[in-house]
Amino acid sequence: MRVAVLMPALNEEEALPAILAAMPERVERVIVADNGSTDRTAEVARSRGAEVVHEAERGYGAACLAGIRHLSQVEPLPDVLVFIDADGSDDPADIPRVVGPIERGEADFVLGVRRGAEGDVGTILPHARLGNRIVLGLTRVLFRESFADLPPFRAIRFNRLLELEMDDRNWGWTLQMQIRAAKSSLRVVEMDVAHRRRTEGVSKISGSLSMSLRVGAKMFYTLARERMRD
C-alpha cells in the first residue's frame, strides 16, 4: 500500500529535522501543512524532502484539510494516510505498526493511543488528561462508542477518510473523525504507541490552561454538532 504522512505544523523549524530524518522508508510521501508559521518551518521541511502546503488560517483542522486537498489532486492517491504531530512527541518508528492492521485488512482506521515509558498516559498534562476523560465519557453516552484516547497519531484508509466529509477547522478535528468513523461503521483498532515530551518549543494547546479550556469548549460543541447531524 502507498503510505503518506501528513503533519500540520506551526513554528516547528527546530523539531522538524529530527522527525523527518526518522521517517521509515515505508513512507512514500510526507506532507507538512504549514499553518501560518513565522519561522523557517516551510524551508526546513522542503530541504529535508517533504512537500509543503500552506494554510494561512490558523487551526489544526484547517491545516489537515489543506493537506488532504493537496493529496487528492496529485496521482497516485495514497492508500493510507497517517497523521502525526510535528513536535517530536510521536515516534515515526511506530508508523509501520500503526499502518499494519490496515495493510493486513484488519482495520480501516487505527488510533495510536498515547503511552509513556512506564505504560502510563504519556506526557499528557493533568488538565488535558482530565478533559480527555470527560470528552470520551460523553462520547460513550451520546454515541455508544468507547475510545481510549483522542490521539493525533492515527492512520486511515484514504478513500474512507474522504467519505467522512471532514469539515472541522480547528480543535474538534480528532473527535469529529472518530465519531464519524464510528457512525460510518469503519473498523477501528486502537494500539499503544510511544508518547514523549515534545523535542523543542512549547505546546500550542496543552501548554496553556486557558487554551486547554478553549479546546475543551470546542470539543463540547463538536459533540453536540455531531449528535444533531443526520
Inform me whether the pLDDT recorded for 120 exceeds 50. no
Cα separations in angstroms, 77 against 6, 74, 187, 224 = 13, 7, 21, 33
> Which range is least confidently modeled, 137-146, 149-158, 167-176, 207-216?
207-216
Q: In this structure, is residue 102 part of a structural domain? A: yes
C-alpha 25/C-alpha 85 separation (Å) is 18
Domain carrying residue 106: 3-123+147-198
Q: In this structure, is residue 66 part of a structural domain? A: yes
The pLDDT tens digits for 11-43 are: 999 999 999 999 999 999 999 999 999 999 999
Which CATH number belongs to the domain containing residue 35 in this structure? 3.90.550.10
The pLDDT tens digits for 77-108 are: 999 999 999 999 999 999 999 999 999 999 99
Q: How many domains does the chain have?
A: 1
User: What pTM was computed for the model?
Assistant: 0.91
The residue among 195, 196, 173 whose CA lies nearest residue 114 is 195
